Amino acid sequence: MAASSFSATSYISKSSIVDSSFNSEHSKNLLLLKFKLSRRIRPRGRNFAVTNVASRNQRLQNSPDQSIQETTDALDNGILVPDSESVISSIKYHAEFTPSFSPDKFELPKAYYATAESIRDMLITNWNATYNFHEKMNVKQAYYLSMEFLQGRALLNAIGNLELSGAYAEALRKLGHDLEDVAKQEPDAALGNGGLGRLASCFLDSLATLSYPAWGYGLRYKYGLFKQLITKDGQEEVAENWLEMGNPWEVPRNDVTYPIKFYGEVVKGKDGHKTWVGGEDIMAVAYDVPIPGYKTKTTINLRLWSTKVGPENFDLHAFNDGNHAKAYEALKKAEKICYILYPGDESLEGKILRLKQQYTLCSASLQDIIARFERRSGESLDWNEFPEKVAVQMNDTHPTLCIPELLRILMDFKGLEWKEAWEITQRTVAYTNHTVLPEALEKWSLNLLQELLPRHVEIIKMIDKEQMVIFFAQLIDTIIAEYGTEDLELLKEKLKQMRVLENIELPASILELLVKPEEIIIVDSLEEKSSEEVTELPKTENNDVDIRAKVTFDPDPKLPQMVRMANLCVVSGHAVNGVAEIHTEIVKNEVFNDFYKLWPKKFQNKTNGVTPRRWLSFCNPELSKIITKWTRTEDWVLNTEKLIELKKFADDEELQSEWRKAKRMNKERTVSFLKEKTGYLVSPDAMFDVQVKRIHEYKRQLLNILGIVYRYKKMKEMKSDERKEKFVPRVCIFGGKAFATYVQAKRIVKFITDVGATVNHDPDIGDLLKVVFVPDYNVTVAEVLIPGSDLSQHISTAGMEASGTSNMKFAMNGCIQIGTLDGANVEIRQEVGEENFFLFGAEAHEISGLRKERSEGKFVPDPRFEEVKEYVRSGVFGRNSYDELMGSLEGNEGYGRADYFLVGKDFPAYIECQEEVDKAYRDQNKWTKMSILNTAGSYKFSSDRTIHQYARDIWRIEPVVLP
């Protein structure tokens, strides 16, 4: 709908303020309304503070008393349910009094901001009530620390969770706009990139919906990761501009700031107390984003940190002297910490910036958590109670520094001794592992950490030393039980693998235990001398000198000294969880097997989940209505077990007909979207085959596009009638970002777009095959593509995908999957039925053997695989050389060679499985039944279920329902 000015029912310009909605009594009525509303939501003797409610559902055309009566008549468990007229007044108020745009027109951008601010009023009211109740009850609270929160757009999600879609849609229609058009004005919040961040956002939605006391903590990235452009050269990156017009959902908390320090030195006082002094000081400033629950007044908080320094750090003299760069050097150093998500770390400067980001998140969040604990405890403050009131969840290894930071605060500022602080830390923190890829298990240079965070390195060394003593005692018993003897060499190797510190001499106390009784070892501490330094050897009773045996574990001077962040998480936390059943087994049996043998109860599985609100109810309303009709309840949105009811009707012709109509509507929406975003016009009659996720070699977009190339080649070799009979029409859709410095991933993006440019303009092929790469894949794009998909691809090399969450979203929307037995695919296949999942490829337990076979030169590639590589090299897809890309699939060993991700091994099984897909799709009744059973089987993958498990097994928190 075209933008319109306010007409008779709305203000036209600033000069038109004489409208009855904004008469001279407005301010008085507004204050009275706020007062009465605050009284209205303070029932049952509770004294909840309600602030920042600028325009709670004003209906000011009538008298204040009448307006309030009509506005608050519809209440559900204390939640205000306004009508469209009061919504109109609220939107008008913000258009006039909280303006981000000039006053003369009410165009779509202005309509969006005014609508968002209107909704935010409600969220702040509920947020205040939630916060104050948690504060008053002093409940145990979970804190979720994550470098990413991939929120997506907030407007429709908030309106949906508050059950106000009808009122806001009607109000905006009366104001000349369509709700969907208004919602499109919102940029996706650029606070995340992939599944890690989307999982965190789904968790926040579920935490609020289930009324668990919890907060999220992250960083407020100014430019996000990057905005992806697709050009003739492939992927190009430009800065995100999501904050250019401001963010109506965030509430700056300028009074909530914490000091953050880098560099400097550690000084020991006469009393033995350590003080970290000097260095570079900045401030972290809080920005709060309210997260509403579904059908509940509970609204929790996502607190994001921005960084700055005070005005005293601006060098006015340098500026006036013309040295402008020097004048604001300190300001830029502080601000750039929150510029970019995952800055490139190829350079030393990039590594320093990443570490600064991680420490800023950890330090500011923990200072905030501790301040809240102290305030709630009051005079009865007892630090031993801290783990009974606080649960800190580290989402992957990025927040690992919260471990030494918590210890530092407890010891250096709160006066606790090491033993007590260490016990409190271990009972407080827990760790979610998201990867088995060695390169993703973070390691940081000890020297870099020493320079940037000297006090933390001291603490990490204390942790390492403490754990070595424990490991020694436990490992020696395990080795004797398993091998029947004290195998000291094996013990040394296991200690080496389990340490927090890598390539650093063992502490003297451990070295003394590792030598044989007849050997004498003189060794200084870790911080001072190595075992190879010359010392005066002691004499025996016979005045003879024993020759010291050389210790077998010496640091390798050619290798860097590192800190293993994942090991630090495992030894320091009370729980370690994987995110899918197969992933957890790999974590226990391979990645952290020695730890698992020592602490089997510490390791848990928590299969990921996705919120059914955003990922089915809101993004797929057509299908949602059908589900509600056939399950006879809307309860499935909260209790996804109700989806199982669909299994009973999977063969019902009426349901199948309705199901196909909903899918067709979603596909037509996808067709329009693809035309708008890429210029390609595709047919909704074709199968929509989708792979959307981060571009990475292990996710094997390369296998997918090579399969498409093979399909295209075979089509070209046939006559028109023959190819139409042989192949089902397909639209193959890709989306995802390749990290800016990941050269091979960017080559894959370029290859996909080149294939598309050739195939899509081939008149011989027409609508039989299209290849479309959607630029700048994000949550909003996913909300369009997933409901319109027929087939989705989750084809990672087995054992390398921790879980995946897009596979859950596709299944929830009735999309059938082709994939390997990897991550959550395993559980999805179990739940939807093996016959409703297209399976191919090597299994996780076979991978190491297959790589060994390759390295020994024993692998014989399938002729079809060789054929497709030669076809690519023939130049049919343009002049671009694909020697590096195809070369990575060849040879027996070497970096970037030898087909490490087994594309060639799985290629024949993959194309044969795709033939089975074509065959199944031709039988639309069978396909629709498979689709229904996928939705029915997705009940297990609600993030509500996952959060209940975290709350019960790790955090030990209970729901707190507001009265």
Active site amino acids: 434, 693-694, 699, 805, 809
Task: Say which residues have a Cβ less than 8 Å from residue 78's Cβ, sequence separation at least 6.
Answer: 41, 43, 297, 962, 963
Question: Crossing angle of helices 84-97/108-137, nearest 10°?
Answer: 100
Of residues 569, 642, 628, the one with CA closest to residue 599 = 569
Structural contact between residues 708 and 700, judged by C-beta atoms closer than 8 angstroms: no
Partners of 181 in the β-ladder = none
Q: What is the DSSP letter of 767?
A: G
Residue appearing with tokens 């899509």: 760
H or E element at residue 661: helix 653-678
* DSSP annotation string for 801-866: ----SHHHHHHHTT-EEEE-S-TTHHHHHHHH-GGGEEE-S--GGGHHHHHHHHHTT-----HHHH
Structural contact between residues 832 and 612, judged by C-beta atoms closer than 8 angstroms: no
Of residues 847, 829, 797, 775, the one with CA closest to residue 940 = 829
Q: What is the DSSP letter of 339?
A: T
Question: Crossing angle of helices 621-631/653-678, nearest 10°?
Answer: 170
Task: Say which residues have a Cβ less than 8 Å from residue 374's Cβ, sequence separation at least 6.
Answer: 381
Euclidean distance between CA atoms 453 and 359, whole angstroms: 9
- Helices within 98-233 (DSSP H only): 108-137, 155-161, 165-174, 179-183, 195-209
What backbone torsions phi and psi does residue 769 show, to the nearest 5 degrees?
Answer: -155, 125
Sign of CA dihedral 85, 91, 95, 98: positive
Of residues 667, 699, 939, 915, the one with CA closest to residue 819 = 699
**Contacts made by residues 105-109, CB under 8 angstroms, sequence distance 24+:** 105/3, 105/5, 105/13, 106/3, 106/4, 106/5, 106/6, 106/10, 106/11, 106/175, 106/176, 107/3, 108/3, 108/177, 108/181, 108/182, 108/184, 108/185, 109/185, 109/245
Euclidean distance between CA atoms 591 and 913, whole angstroms: 31
Helix (H, G, I), strand (E, B) or coil at 588: helix
List % helix, strand, coil for the chain (3-state, nearest 5). Answer: 50, 15, 35
Euclidean distance between CA atoms 774 and 783, whole angstroms: 13
Token pair for residue 272? 């033995």
Token pair for residue 409? 């605060």
